[in-house]
Amino acid sequence: MGAMRTLLLKGSQNHWLATRVPRRKFVQRAVRRFMPGETLEAALATAERLRGSGMDTVVTLLGEAIADRTEAERVTAHYLDAYERIERAGLPTEISVKPSQMGLDVGSDVCAAQLDALARRAEEGGGFLWVDMEASPYVDATLELYRGLRERYAHVGVCLQSYLYRTAEDLEQLLPLAPSIRLVKGAYSEPPSLAFPRKRDVDENFMRLAKRLLSREARELGVRVGFGTHDMQLIDRVRDFAEGAGLPPDAYEVQMLYGIRRSDQVRLTAEGQPVRVLISYGSAWFPWYMRRLAERPANLWFVARSVIAG
Ligand SMILES: Cc1cc2nc3c(=O)[nH]c(=O)nc-3n(C[C@H](O)[C@H](O)[C@H](O)COP(=O)(O)OP(=O)(O)OC[C@H]3O[C@@H](n4cnc5c(N)ncnc54)[C@H](O)[C@@H]3O)c2cc1C
């Protein structure tokens, strides 16, 4: 792992920085590149605009590791209202949540109750609930929560990370449930005992998992697949594999973050590839933004430019 990436990921967990950095105006300006605004209204207005360009969306309220049940319930209430608004506006917008923001640190039962309320609401209104995957200590509990949800609801998906050695096995265990899977590389700082340290191996594992997700067996089971990556080489390799297997372009979605590789998002959409853009919003953006910087330390240049812009 690069020294800068390690530094930025360490910084993402630093409380002192988290309370000070977001107050700086130049940081707020730089953040806007990845986040249209802090409110749900801003996120949904962007979803409306992207729908006009033929793209689907998924929204997420930033925040993680909350410490009490009341806060988890507040987040749930916020998302229930979001489903209501999405439904009223007829938007092709799904919701993605972090288990630690839904109370996983307080108790698995607390988190399960929040997720259940959201999944039920999603199912009733024709919506969809994605469960993010966080750092490795959360993986077992998150998969357990997802299994519980999937036994009761169809409109639920979970994220898997190709940097973890365990993911191939996790995927095999999930397949009989006909899961919905968003495959990503993984955004956290993980030790080499748990995760491939080299990018090349993470990419190769991504490809192996992608092939399994698009295999005849997975398709016959009814697996829904989203590839959450901006890596155009990987996206091309997935497309070549899918075409070679005779799959239609809508056999899977490409999911990208708002503000990253916008021109590729437009181009893929024009080529008939379903694209879903993840729009983040909320005031607790510091650790999330640091992870975006870590993914591409060149993004620090945008922070620097915002300082210069005054
Ligand atoms: C829809 C979606 C949902 C996600 N959900 C999760 C989750 O639940 N759990 C999790 O651990 N991770 C999640 N991630 C993050 C993911 O794990 C990666 O950290 C992130 O996508 C960067 O990796 P990459 O696949 O784009 O490939 P990389 O090899 O990191 O990047 C490929 C290319 O994309 C561009 N790029 C990538 N990131 C940036 C950036 N921040 N700024 C500018 N350009 C960039 C660069 O040109 C880079 O060369 C999600 C990502 C997406 C798109």
| Residues 36-79: tens digit of each pLDDT | 888 999 999 999 999 999 999 999 998 877 889 999 999 999 99
Read off the pTM.
0.91
Is residue 5 part of the annotated active site? The answer reads no
Looking at residue 1, its pLDDT comes to: 60
- Cβ of 257 closer than 6 Å to ligand 1, yes or no, is yes
Specify the ligand 1 atom closest to the Cα of 255: 1
Pick the closest to residue 257 from 279, 283, 290 (CA basis): 279
DSSP 59-124: EEE------SHHHHHHHHHHHHHHHHHHHHHT--EEEEE-GGGGTTTT-HHHHHHHHHHHHHHHHH
| Residues 242-294: tens digit of each pLDDT | 999 999 989 999 999 999 999 999 999 999 999 999 999 987 777 777 777 77
List the residue whose alpha carbon is closest to atom 48 of ligand 1: 231
Q: How far is the CA of 81 from the centre of ligand 1 (A)?
A: 28
Could you tell me the pLDDT band of residue 303, with boundaries at 50, 70 and 90? Answer: low
Q: How far is the CA of 234 from the centre of ligand 1 (A)?
A: 12
Is residue 150 part of the annotated active site? The answer reads no
Count Cα neighbours of 230 within 13 Å in the Cβ-side half-sphere.
17
List the residue whose alpha carbon is closest to atom 21 of ligand 1: 229
Q: Which helix (H) or strand (E) holds 129?
A: strand 129-131
